[in-house]
Amino acid sequence: MADKKDVKTVGVKEGLGAGVFGLGLLAVFLPGTVQRIADLEFIESEAFAMLSGSLMVLGVFILIAGLAVMFAKLDD
């Protein structure tokens, strides 16, 4: 008999983790766009700094959640 190899494929769990990780990347890079909005001359509010900082922290948590979903040992 031929040796049976354990074939691993990408499943729903990995796809979900990659999607969550992608959302985290979007959240991390969004403050760069927010800073461009804040630099416009007709914007006078300073709330953009708080939004940028909180979005960076949220993005890091989302990245960690995506990695946790991808590498978790769940029963399929």
Can you tell me the distance from the alpha carbon of 69 to that of 15, in angstroms, rounded to the nearest whole number?
9
**Residues of the chain with confidence (pLDDT) below 70:** 1-4, 45-48, 74-76
Domain ranges of the chain: 34-76
Which residue reads 């760069």 in tokens?
32
Enter the pTM of the model.
Answer: 0.63
Can you tell me the distance from the alpha carbon of 28 to that of 63, in angstroms, rounded to the nearest whole number?
9
pLDDT for the residue 61? 92
CA atoms within 13 A on the CB side of 62: 19
The three-state secondary structure class of 35 is helix
